[in-house]
Amino acid sequence: MTVSEYSGIRPEDLRIETLGSARITSPLAPLLDARRTTEHYVDSDDRVLLDDTAAGVAARGGSLDDLPGFEPCGPRREIYFDPSKTRAGIVTCGGLCPGLNDVVAGLVHTLTYHYGVRRIVGFQNGYRGFVSAYGHDVVDLTPETVRDIPVDGGTFLGTSRGHQDPEEIVDCLEQMHLGVLFVIGGDGTLRGAMEIARVVRDRGLRIAVVGIPKTIDNDIPFIDQSFGFQTAFSQASEAIRSVTVEAKSTPGGVGLVKLMGRHSGFIACYASLVRSDADAVLIPEVPFELDGETGLLHHLQRRVEQRGHAVVVVAEGAGQERLEAAGGTDASGNAKLADVGPWLKERIGESFSGAGLETTVRYVDPSYLIRSVPANPYDSVYTVRLAQAAVHAAMSGRTAMVVGRVRRRFVHIPMDLAVSRRNQVDPHGDLWMAVLESTGQPWRFGEDSGAPTRAPHT
């Protein structure tokens, strides 16, 4: 994000809503006192500054108090909820993502072991689990019931997409005497959580609603990376490796891999950098042309002529401007995308045939395989730390917020800010430049970027 994109955010935009004063001594207070003088101590009045460059700070002017900053995550000495009288709920919503079970287990462990919360319930199949018409029972969650779930992919609680009445959801929270609700999901899920928090506020209830943002596409603004992203691009790189082997094994072979990324091409970019096998990477942020001397198809023909094969990585949202719109929306309210993979496969085959060139196009779409795998060790650790941060925030009475990591610091982010925009690959940024250097492709297919050319990698 550039200085200009930061400039509209004010200190008050990053302020976190609370349910009231924290007057209860935390069970963690002795541990905090023991490390009081260490660098790990969390000062509730401290801030993680939004601007991370001298230019950004200078552009704002004014005093230190005028600089916007995030509230840091971490345990407080005084908390809002009495753990012995508090019940907590957990729900997972939206598409699958590596690490969902790790988050659930992390929440349960921290609530139980560190705070002594005596009842934790899981709602099954997303927001449907709150609605009586669907007839889903709640699941009592204990350290024993969640002990082994991180080794499995998917979500132990089940999930669903689609809107449910926030009034009915809050009715359920009241009936079950829940004081805390943890919501794990993407932007649609968090918008639903914002509505739940609004109804709670309108009714004058004391229920904390805290989110752990989930998006495999890594498109949540501000935060460094979303959980599951590292697992996803690692798995995606294996798909690229496999299709490269296939392409090398056939005369004039072309490998084509379609990866996740409706609006943001982070998975395609990172996966293509793992082994540098790709000759072209197509992402939603950079439109492309197929035909002509500077188009994608001519680029692929040259690569096949030069080294016998070529590999293309395409994000699912790329090229939508060139395809006939699918029309309608899915259960989450997202516009349905036209399927770029089969279309691109057909066009590549036609272009080679028209040029009198032999080719075989090997097409792979590993999306569901990637979504369903367990988290890798990095993401497992990351999810546990996010879960711990979410529990500390909720028990201290914070609400209508999510937890995330900004420049390696865990912070609280207001929910409305977390869904205010999508994080996207900057076509003029260093990540896209790294992809261009790795693939040797032009900045944009279909125009002369003026960029120097280089010999294709082997």
Positions annotated as catalytic residues are 217
| C-beta separation of 51 from 222 below 8 A | no
Beta strands in 296-407 (DSSP E): 309-315, 360-364, 398-399, 401-406
| C-beta separation of 418 from 197 below 8 A | no
In one letter, which amino acid is 280? Answer: A
Q: How far is CA 137 from the centre of its chain?
A: 28
Spatial separation of the C-alpha atoms in residues 435 and 278, rounded to whole Å: 9
| C-beta separation of 175 from 138 below 8 A | no
Q: In the structure encoding, which two tokens stand for residue 38, read together?
A: 């260490």
| C-beta separation of 402 from 190 below 8 A | yes
Name every residue whose Cβ is closer than 8 Å to that of residue 133 and which is 6 or more positions away in sequence.
none
Spatial separation of the C-alpha atoms in residues 110 and 28, rounded to whole Å: 11
Residue 377: strand, helix, or coil = helix
Q: 70-96 in b/e burial notation, b at 16+ Cβ within 10 A?
A: bbbbbbbbebbbebeebbbbbbbbbbb
Spatial separation of the C-alpha atoms in residues 67 and 270, rounded to whole Å: 32
Q: In the structure encoding, which two tokens stand for residue 144, read together?
A: 């024993």
Q: Which of 330, 371, 390 is nearest to 105 (CA)?
A: 390
Cα angle for residues 270, 451, 307 (degrees, 5° grid): 65
Residue 25: strand, helix, or coil = strand
| C-beta separation of 396 from 79 below 8 A | yes
Q: Which of 266, 275, 283 is nearest to 438 (CA)?
A: 275
CB atoms within 10 A of CB 394: 31
Q: What is the DSSP letter of 98?
A: T
**What is the total residue count of the chain?**
458
